[in-house]
Structure 1
Amino acid sequence: MAKKNKKQDEKEAIDQDTIKKQQQGEPSPDGIIDSNEAVVDIEQSGAVDENTSLINKLRSDLVAAEEKIEEHKNRFLLAKAEMDNVRKRAERDVANAHKYALDKFVPELLTVKDSLELGAKAAKESVAETPNEQVSKFIEGSEMTINIFADTLKKFGVEVVDPQGELFNPEFHQAMTMVPNDDLPVNTVIEVVQKGYTLNGRLLRPAMVIVSKKTL
């Protein structure tokens, strides 16, 4: 009877030791894991897998959202640039319309001015040969009219191109002929047959000129 109690006490001591080791995380002597611990491990493993899948999906959604944002940003920048270009073109067109609105009208006025100047020139030549008071008054009145005409044109951006004595400039002058002249540098404007004009810096009509050249 004493031996039986002794064996039972030893068995209980072993069981207590096994339980204690299991609580401390040590495996049981026979390698068997407690069923409650196995269930907890499985549940934790499933939760980790579920969280990992959720995190991966969120990352994928974030990347897709960032790509969409970048796409919309690029579209916005392109649209903004196009609108800026349209606005600048419109402003330039309006400015040019105001600036060069007289393009077709001014040349007609220049023809009138040319006629007045030619008339005054002919009258001066006539008076030089035969003095005449009435013709002199006509010349005076014509010159006043021409000056007023020129001032009015200047207010609207029309400038005279009168290159007498200047070097020939093909951008603003048109050579009618070349005359030998060793007293002047080559390509000097000897005579202005017809004055030229610009409108706000843009050529309306080139000056018709006679240019010097070397004597052969």
Structure 2
Amino acid sequence: MQNTDPTAPAGAQGAQSGASEAEAAMNADIDALSQQLAQAETAVAEMRDVLLRERAELENQRRRLQRDLEQARKFANERLLSDLLPVFDALNSGLAIENADAAVLREGTDLTLKTLLRVAETNGLKQVDPTGTPFNPDLHQAMSMVDSPDHASGLVVATLQKGYVLNDRLLRPALVAVAK
């Protein structure tokens, strides 16, 4: 189809078809960009959803850990106290005896003390009774220095109060008398 209008310039028809091709190319670019934008919006929405889920999971985990920590604190001594129940029972039995002589009471107290020490040892507590050993400032506290011809200088000759170590950490030093 040719333009038969003698007054129309010869290149006008070509210009119209060039403009429509440029417009079509621009529309195609706009459609492609619109598709890319829609894909990007979908990806952002998915990432936002994942982010919200992860935040919720982290918050739930934090709450669970806090609850577990509170439970651990609350029942941390459960095993120790359960182990102490026989000691309580022995003391109650000793107190229930009304007409006991001193020897029977002493024997019962000795057995109760041994039970208590056994419970303490199973829970990591060890006694420090250094009589006859060299003075160790890491475990002992010297309360006095005494002249003792039977002991070498620096040896512990008497324990005034036993010390205790809990799981290799000094809980209380032993109070001792040391030979000069």
In the alignment, does 2:56 pair up with 1:79? yes
Deviating above 6 A after TM superposition, structure 1's stretches of 4 or more consecutive aligned residues are none
Aligned residues with identical type, % of pairs: 9
The aligned counterpart of 2:113 is 146
The aligned counterpart of 2:98 is none
Q: 1:61-83: per-residue Cα shift (whole Å, max 9, x none)?
A: 44444444444434433332332
In the alignment, does 2:143 pair up with 1:178? yes
Deviation at 1:48, TM superposition (A): 1.1
Return the match for 1:57 from 34, 38, 41.
34
Deviation at 1:164, TM superposition (A): 1.4
Deviation at 1:52, TM superposition (A): 1.0
Per the alignment, do residues 192 and 180 of structure 1 end up closer, same or farther by CA in structure 2, a change over 3 Å counting? closer
Contact 1:196-1:208 within 8 A present in 2 as well: yes
Deviation at 1:46, TM superposition (A): 1.8
| C-alpha distance in structure 2 between counterparts of 1:103 and 1:154, whole Å | 8
Contact 1:158-1:197 within 8 A present in 2 as well: no
Contact 1:179-1:213 within 8 A present in 2 as well: yes
Deviation at 1:47, TM superposition (A): 1.5
Amino acid at match of 1:140: E
The CA RMSD over aligned residues, in Å, is 4.8
Per the alignment, do residues 213 and 63 of structure 1 end up closer, same or farther by CA in structure 2, a change over 3 Å counting? farther
| C-alpha distance in structure 2 between counterparts of 1:64 and 1:167, whole Å | 73
The aligned counterpart of 2:70 is 93
Per the alignment, do residues 102 and 196 of structure 1 end up closer, same or farther by CA in structure 2, a change over 3 Å counting? farther
Give 5+ residue unaligned stretches, structure 2. 3-8, 95-100, 147-151
Deviation at 1:50, TM superposition (A): 0.9
The aligned counterpart of 2:5 is none
Matches within 5 A, 1:185-196: 191=159, 193=161
Larger radius of gyration: 1
Contact 1:179-1:212 within 8 A present in 2 as well: yes
When normalised by structure 2's length, the TM-score is 0.52
**Total equivalences in the alignment:** 151
